[in-house]
Amino acid sequence: MRLTEFWNRMDQALGPAYSRTWAETQVVSGLGGRTVAEALAQGEHAKTVWRAVWAHLQLPPSER
C-alpha cells in the first residue's frame, strides 16, 4: 500500500479535516503504543499501520 492510498483511507474513515490530527495524537495499541505518525516515521509499512488503524477503529471488513 502506498502512503497516498493510506491517507485516502484515513480521510474516508475519519474525514480529511481530522485524519492527520488523529494520526498524530491517538495512540494505537496495535502499533506498540505508538501513534500512526510515529509508526510511519519509524518505517512501519503503511499496510501494517492501516490494519492496526482498521482494528482500532473497528471498521467494517469491507474497508480492510
Cell 509508526 belongs to 39
pTM: 0.91
For 35, the 3-state DSSP assignment is strand
Range name among 3-7, 9-13, 58-62 with the lowest pLDDT average: 58-62
Pairing mode of beta strands 27-28, 34-35: antiparallel
Reported as a single tens digit per residue, the pLDDT across 25-45 is 999 999 999 999 999 999 999
